[in-house]
Structure 1
Amino acid sequence: MQKTAIIIGGGVVGLASGLALARRGLAARLVEADPDRRAASWGNAGHVAIEQVEPLASRAAIRSAPGWLFSRGGALALPPGQWRAWAPFAWRMMGAARPHRFETGKAALSALLAEAMPAWRRFAESLPERGLLREDGHYVLWGSPAAAMKGRAAWANADTGTARFHDIDEGERRTLASLLGADPAGAIRFENTGQIDDLSRLAEALETAFRAVGGEIVRGRARLELVGGRAGVSIEGSAAEVPDHVVLAAGVRSGGLIAPLGHRAPIIAERGYHIRARSHDWPAHLPPLVFEDRSMIVTRYADCVQAASFVELGEPDAAPDPAKWARLERHVLELGLPMRGPFERWMGARPTLPDYLPAIGRSARAGNLLYAFGHQHLGLTLAPITGEIVGALAMGERPPVKIDAFDLERFAGRGRRT
């Protein structure tokens, strides 16, 4: 008899996981509560960020946080009215930033990211849609010589895993000067990071590929409950079903969904903002530009240019802050970027756990439950390798990467690490 799977969450991680299961012969059904694709999967910077191997839960990040506050012109926002969400998260993050925890997390994340680009190549080749993945690297720029000297030194001393960078050459300098109207004060180019050409095309390609191998997509809300020691799924209030496998990949909603099964997942909405310009003069194949002084990344997609920024910790459903979009528009104006309004505005919630590591594994409390969420800024980057891990776990195989550090039981409470 054909085994069954229900995947909760239709973002990029959920679709990659569902596709992996369907391709292994399971009767897979994916439940997605967001038909308008407002999730972070479809509004991110499109950057395959294999260089980000150092978890943000670090002593260095915590020491520098006051200088990055939005009120001081930085990208970190801690809305006073949402302190009940971010204060406990910040406390747990400080615990996760202890040197031993940081080094353990970095080693685990580094191993996962080392497989991210090979997994993306395999994934992209398996899709009928061509040209989704570009491996052109990305630029990091600074607004002053002093910032450039400090920033380049920081990258030189950072662990960037398999990613490599070089100082820009004369041709790259001319390209950037033409875009900015002046020579950049300083810039480096990462050589082997990647970009997704178009997030909407990616979403369509994944859904099409999933359906092509027999997968079914259901638009609606799911709920988890424990049924005889296994995970049962109720869709839109229906009676609970108990499939052979349940995969929870619901992003920032995952913590609330998994709680009835006895799991603790202290996830927070790390909200990011972007603006998009359909009217622009941006070169078609220019890789993403990171303006590090302003914590802003600009990406040329197939049909628009997008500027994205901000780390706003809070509730996923809180009203967006228009001041963040206004600041993004001001950055574009001050930098002289060839983007013209009116701008389309978006805000979405990255699913982040206090140690800035994902939760990937099999539940110790419900034998048929697999989970894959909490990928923070790296959901797009890690989706294909996460899907491969989920597929291996479902088939009882050894995962392609060691995943012990991503076990959700690390948040189980007393006697545990956080």
Structure 2
Amino acid sequence: MRSIGIIGGGIVGLTAAVALLDRGLAVTLFDPDVSKGAASWGNAGHIAVEQVAPLAAPGAVRSVPGRLFASGGALALPLSMAASWVPFGLKLAAASTPQRFSAGVAALTPLLAAAMPRWRALVDGLDAPDLLRQDGHIVTWESDATARRGRLKWRRSAIGTATIGEVDSPTFSRLRGLTKGIIDGVRFSGSGQVSDLARLADVLEAAVVARGGVIVRDVARLVETGDGVAIAGHPSDLVLVSAGVRSRGLLEPLGYRVPMIAERGYHIRTDAAGWPADLPPIVFEDRSMIVTRYADCVQAASFVELGNPDAPADPRKWARLERHVAQLGLPITGPFRRWMGARPTLPDYLPAIGRSARHPNLLYAFGHQHLGLTLAPVTAQLVGALAVADEPSVAIARFSLDRFSRQGPRA
């Protein structure tokens, strides 16, 4: 039986472990994070099939001043972390040409088209179908001007398999009863939500163990061997790096270029009482905030803070979230539990999925930015195909790490 060692036990690593076990490989997964503090378990729970357009887009750099935290926006560029975000920003600008943006849309479209079917197959295979809700999501605005701009923006955006319709009158009346702020909104269909991130983590880990996989609560280190790479002290036929923001530190010592940054997000959580269990995720677009009800809590999340994953959190972000909740009059009351986590983001806002040409036994799957939860099951299937030399169901050449080498593709 061929064996594989997986570094990283977030949503991508765990779903890949299940897929690889189902293909008959012996799996050992390394994840020291017993607290489940990673971005996989603190995100908005939104399966965002509508986010086909990469954030590396024409006009992205020009829009920065109006989106800065100091101006009331959700983008934070801390001066203390300029050494991280300045070089990343230059690469982002280079990746935001019309040609590269169009190529990114073309690359992400089939991945996102497969996302919801793969999620349904995953939860059914885990005998936990209630973990997936397919109720779409709602985007709201607080003024006529922002509603006009928001509706126009979404009409012009590529949204893949999602569709946009009006919020039905009874639902909108309920929303107006929950907040004193919104005056308009639209409802997306085709998107979805994980109903309970904590339970998802438990179910996936249990599935790995039940299928014969081994989870090692230890930090893994990569070393070069005569014909590839290995996890130090744990030989295996293949190695998969799916360690989120930590993937850069694993691969760059081996000579790979991984221009990834920690895109830090913040949330506040409290008990679910007061927020209806049947509402889908609600986006308050004027505030760049999304509110999600989980099984036993309700969460408000926001912010894109570029920098170092290990830098201290900025309490002003949590304070602003709490102000948003209060100003909107939402039935969400403290005390709040505060969280900050780091999304792994590459400058073209495409993931890194593939097999190394230099170390043929090395696979990688990371850098999914805001789409880690959304794309985890389809990424797992692609990794499974790579591991057994099957043809991937989706073209993945665009996601190769080679695109960041000096000889890599530019278009």
Smaller-chain TM-score bracket: over 0.9
Match of 1:398 in 2: 391
5 Å-filtered alignment, 1:1-400, equals 2-181=1-180, 184-234=182-232, 239=233, 241-278=234-271, 280-400=273-393
SS of equivalent to 2:330: coil
Letter in 1 for 2:281: P
Q: Distance in 1 between matches of 2:383 and 2:235?
A: 18
C-alpha distance in 2 between matches for 1:265 and 1:210: 29
1:73-126 deviation digits (Å, cap 9, x = unpaired): 000000001000000000000111111111101100111101101111111110
Residue identity in the other structure for 2:206: T
Give 1:416 deviation, angstroms.
Answer: 4.9
Which stretch shifts more, 71-80 or 30-39? 30-39
Where in structure 1 are there 5+ consecutive unaligned residues? none
Map Cα deviations across residues 279-305 of structure 1 (whole Å, 9 max, x no partner).
Answer: 530001100000001000000000000
Quick one: distance in 1 between partners of 2:409 and 2:391?
25
With 168-177 and 105-114 compared, the bigger mean Cα shift is at 168-177
Residues 203 and 415 of structure 1: is their aligned pair in 2 closer, same or farther, counting only changes over 3 Å?
closer
Could you say what secondary structure the match of 1:62 adopts? coil
Aligned length: 411
2: CA distance, partners of 1:265 / 1:250: 13
Deviations 1:102-157 (A, max 9, x none): 11011001111011011111111101334000000000000101100110111011
For 2:358 and 2:279, the matched residues in 1 are separated by 48
Q: Which runs of 5+ in 2 are unaligned?
A: none
SS at match of 1:360: strand
Single out whichever of 303-312 and 122-131 deviates more from structure 2. 122-131
Instruction: Return the alpha-carbon distance in structure 1 between the equivalents of residues 298 and 272 of structure 2.
Output: 8
Question: Are the equivalent residues in 1 in contact too, given 2:120–2:129 (CA < 8 A)?
Answer: no
Q: Could you tell me how far apart the structure 1 residues matched to 2:151 and 2:409 are? A: 38
Identity %: 57
Question: How far 1:415 sits from its partner (Å)?
Answer: 5.8
Q: What are the superposed Cα offsets for residues 175-215 of structure 1, whole Å, 9 maximum, x if unpaired?
A: 21121147x31100001110000000000010011111101
8 Å contact kept, 2:78–2:307? yes
Residue 414 of structure 1 deviates from its aligned partner by 5.0
Q: C-alpha separation between the residues in 2 aligned to 1:258 and 1:416?
A: 20
Instruction: State the match for 1:411 in structure 2.
Output: 404
Matches of 1:360 and 1:242, distance apart in 2: 22
Residues 280, 340 of structure 1: 8 Å contact kept: no
Letter in 2 for 1:132: L
CA contact (8 A) 1:229 1:365 kept: no
Give the conservation status (yes or no) of the 8 Å contact 1:261–1:366: no
Q: CA RMSD in A?
A: 1.2
1:247-304 CA-partner distances (Å, limit 9, x unpaired): 1000000011011322111110000000001153000110000000100000000000
Q: Secondary structure at the match of 1:326?
A: helix
Cα shift readout 1:5-44 (whole Å, capped 9, x = no counterpart): 1000000000011111111111100000211111000000
Contact 2:107–2:398 (CA<8 Å) still a contact in 1? yes
Q: What TM-score does the superposition give when structure 2 sets the normalisation length?
A: 0.98
Report the residue type matching 1:260 in the other structure.
Answer: P
**Quick one: distance in 1 between partners of 2:103 and 2:173?**
42
Alpha-carbon distance in structure 1 between the residues aligned to 2:407 and 2:354: 21
> Would the alpha carbon gap of residues 223 and 191 (structure 1) be closer, same or farther in structure 2, given more than 3 Å must change?
same
Task: Single out whichever of 129-138 and 47-56 deviates more from structure 2.
Answer: 129-138
Which range moves more in the overlay, 345-354 or 96-105?
96-105
The amino acid of 2:173's aligned partner reads R
Counterpart contact for 2:49–2:116, Cα < 8 Å: yes
The letter of the residue matching 1:67 is: G
CA distance in 1, matches of 2:288, 2:77: 16
In 1, distance between residues paired with 2:354 and 2:82?
A: 30
